[in-house]
Amino acid sequence: MTLIVGLGNPEEKYAKTFHNLGFLAVGDCAALLGTKFKKKECEASVAEAYLGGEKIILARPLTYMNASGRAVNQLMKKYKVAPHELIVLYDDYDLPKGHVRVRPQGSAGTHNGMRSVIAETGVSEFARIRIGIRDEEVQIPLINYVLSEVRREDYNLFVSACRRAAEAAVALAGGESIDLVMTKYNG
């Protein structure tokens, strides 16, 4: 069993913002696995798939970014997911735009959604796939930046980054080692 969670905000007005890249990436996971988000449970929109005979739960928390951990914790309990079976995809201002970084564990950094996940689940030893959003040319407060729309000229860069993040998540769910996935997708 693997639980892949993409962090974001549920309202349509946030759909094209940097803070919703996790939602977009987990949507790409669903496309790669041939499934769709069809049900709501545990304060999340959920899709199910199988890969190599193993069940995969894909989720988009509906709790808003800063309370994402509540949905993740509920899903982990419902599906009896151990920390090593959890993968979280999210935007990260600490990485340059378009970069993807896979890590086996870590801190929340500057990300409030990850702070919530770690606080609610009580663990930080789970895989995370970060999609870089920092743009040195943009000089606005972080909260305004993450809730702003991706610029048209950067759209293809972020589509590609979300796709790579999704491929990395599916590779992990399919049993590839974290070291191999890091080698293939980091950068």
CATH number for the domain that contains residue 179: 3.40.50.1470
> Can you tell me the mean pLDDT for 109-124?
94
Considering only residues 166 and 110, tell me which one the structure prediction assigns the higher pLDDT.
166
Considering only residues 108 and 25, tell me which one the structure prediction assigns the higher pLDDT.
25
CA distances (Å), origin 24, targets 4, 147, 161:
12, 15, 10
The C-alpha atoms of residue 137 and residue 151 are separated, in whole angstroms, by: 12
Specify the pLDDT at position 185: 95
Specify the pLDDT at position 88: 98
Residue 26's contacts (CB-CB under 8 Å, 6 or more residues apart) are: 4, 5, 6, 58, 59, 60, 89, 166, 169
In which band, very low, low, confident or very high, does the pLDDT at 31 lie, cut at 50, 70 and 90? very high
Specify the pLDDT at position 18: 87
> Can you tell me the mean pLDDT for 120-137?
93
The encoded tokens of residue 135 equal: 């743009």
Does the pLDDT of residue 146 top 80, yes or no?
no
Does the pLDDT of residue 138 top 80, yes or no?
no
Name the residue range of residue 54's domain.
2-185
**Catalytic one of 19, 84, 99, 111:** 19
How many structural domains are present in the chain? 1
19 is a catalytic site residue = yes
